[in-house]
Amino acid sequence: MSLLLHPSYFPNIANFAAIVQNDICWEVMDNFQKQTFRNRCYICTDLGIHMLTIPIKHLRNSKGKQKYSNVKIDNDYPWQRQHWRTLETAYRTSPFFEFYEDDIAPLYHNTFPSLMDFNLKTIETICECLQIKMPLDRTEVFEVGATDKIDGRALINSKTKLPFQQPPYVQVFGDRNDFIPNLSILDLLFNEGTNTLTYLKNLNLTLTHA
């Protein structure tokens, strides 16, 4: 049975562990919701946890509702340059930043109109770095309750706390901050590099309660 997930911006470690451990079907027929990982991710800087947010264009007269697949990125704001500079500052001294830099940088140097397309491209890029296949299945209709899939769509909510134990790994600013769990997959990738896939496979997730 496949797992139903929302595409998110460089998904957190729990989401990517779910991607690695399951057959995935992407939920692409839902409405966009604020304060979710659809347009944000969390990384670690010298000051601790830091949020990166992609600005989006809000449609007039939409009454707050629009399809996630129709959401456009507000590229009038130089968010890509800001995000990339922040990533460079945070991870330039990490063990594997330079190893993956050429894979990640193009996402911040090319323009993407669609938020969903950009998020799927960030996931595809990480899959290529991990040398695994990018999940391609997508929903064709929206269902409130998943009938033939494990429903992992709650993982998109930034306030959802998952009951899983994440083994600590060495983070760049570990000498200044306590270990910060479940950050963007970028944090794990830049710090653990070629060990990332093994780490994700060994995480114990309780997805029936996601």
- Residues 105-130: pLDDT tens digits? 999 999 999 999 999 999 999 999 99
Segment 17-34, tens digit of pLDDT: 999 999 999 999 999 998
Count the neighbouring beta carbons within 10 Å of the beta carbon of residue 131.
Answer: 8
pLDDT on residue 209: 40
pLDDT on residue 203: 95
More confident residue, 145 or 137: 137
- Average pLDDT value for residue range 158-167: 83
- pLDDT classification of 210: cutoffs 50, 70, 90: very low
Angle 172-83-80 (CA atoms, 0-180°, nearest 5)? Answer: 155
- pLDDT classification of 1: cutoffs 50, 70, 90: confident
- Average pLDDT value for residue range 137-153: 91
- pLDDT classification of 61: cutoffs 50, 70, 90: low
**CB burial string 138-174: b at 16+ within 10 A, e below:** eeeeeeeebeebbbbbebbeeeeebeeebeebebbee
Q: What is the CA radius of gyration of the chain?
A: 17
Report the number of distinct structural domains present in the chain.
1
Domain span including residue 77: 3-209
**Lowest mean pLDDT segment, chosen from 132-141, 147-156, 181-190:** 147-156
